[in-house]
């Protein structure tokens, strides 16, 4: 379990973009009021402490890294960053008191202390608004025929809430054949059940529940997911992943009901 502290920080998790000079790197920015030491996989990053308003750059090999920061007394909750060859990840630390509500689609709110109850964080972007169970991280990626922006959060019980906005490069049918296609080609794993179809705010959707899927750590997890066909070029996928031992049904009901498609 991560250590819990009273101080809270905000982290900016930018999209991974192609670096202009071809280097693969992590750029750290300190916009807090404290001198901090940036960490990578628990080890010191860069060449020394970063003063308020300062920054540093850490060249890395392609891969997945766990980023955090410390002021010598407290350490932030870890954030995982995956970087491709020639890409970069920007990691920025803010003082939490600068913003109590996260309305920035690029801002991930992470508390250095863990609360026992699920938080509710209202969140809004041009395509939707919803209430997540914690601060929201954002990443954008390309698939072979679409551009995707993923918004996700995780609470203290390990329940992850996720919304993906997909813009498809070509027209797709605005009916159940499209939403069924996405569900049938989902690769989460486990046993699929409770498949239902309906409309949500006038848009067709297909829902499915994946149970007892391996979590990669020797345990199992579940996934509740709804594929909503917004129009012939836009799809919204709202889902919730939880450890098998966690009863997350009521949390899912609240999350899916909070979604407002714009």
Quick one: 128 and 251 in the same domain? Answer: yes
Q: Which domain holds residue 27?
A: 8-114
> pTM for the whole thing?
0.57
Unique residue bearing structure tokens 């007394």: 73
pLDDT of residue 12: 37
Q: Are residues 129 and 250 in the same domain?
A: yes
* 252: pLDDT strictly greater than 70: yes
Q: How far is CA 44 from CA 14, 48, 50, 118, 251, in A?
A: 21, 8, 11, 32, 37
| Residues 207 and 157 grouped into a single domain | yes
Same domain for 102 and 156?
Answer: no
pLDDT per position as a tens digit, 102-114: 444 333 333 332 2
Q: What CATH number did the domain enclosing 77 receive?
A: 2.60.40.1120
119 in any annotated domain: no
Contact between 35 and 52 under an 8 Å Cβ cutoff? The reply is yes
88-99 pLDDT, tens digit each? 677 777 665 333
242 shares a domain with 140 = yes
CB distance 83 to 27 below 8 Å = no
**188 and 110 housed in the same domain:** no
Q: Is residue 174 part of a domain?
A: yes
Q: Which residue would you say has higher pLDDT here, 183 or 62?
A: 183
């Amino acid at each position: 379990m991560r250590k819990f502290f009273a101080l809270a920080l905000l982290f900016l998790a930018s999209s991974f973009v192609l670096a202009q000079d071809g280097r693969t790197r992590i750029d750290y920015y300190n916009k807090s009021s404290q001198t901090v030491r940036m960490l990578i996989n628990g080890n010191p990053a860069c060449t020394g402490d970063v003063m308020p308003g300062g920054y540093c750059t850490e060249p890395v090999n392609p891969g997945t890294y766990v980023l955090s920061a410390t002021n010598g007394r407290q350490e932030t909750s870890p954030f995982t960053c995956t970087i491709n060859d020639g890409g970069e990840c920007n990691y920025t630390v803010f003082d939490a008191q600068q913003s109590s509500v996260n309305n920035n689609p690029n801002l991930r709110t992470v508390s250095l202390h863990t609360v026992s109850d699920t938080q509710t964080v209202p969140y809004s972007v041009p395509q939707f608004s919803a209430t997540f169970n914690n601060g929201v991280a954002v990443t954008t990626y390309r698939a072979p025929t679409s551009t995707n922006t993923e918004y996700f959060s995780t609470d203290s019980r390990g329940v992850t809430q996720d919304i993906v906005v997909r813009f498809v490069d070509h027209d797709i049918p605005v009916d159940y054949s499209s939403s069924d296609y996405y569900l049938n080609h989902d690769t989460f794993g486990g046993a699929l059940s409770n498949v239902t179809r309906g409309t949500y705010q006038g848009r067709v959707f297909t829902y499915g529940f994946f149970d007892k899927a391996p979590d990669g750590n020797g345990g199992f997890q579940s996934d509740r997911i709804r594929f909503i066909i917004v129009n012939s070029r836009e799809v919204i996928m709202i889902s919730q992943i939880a450890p098998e031992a966690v009863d997350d049904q009521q949390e899912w009901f609240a999350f899916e009901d909070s979604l407002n498609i714009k």
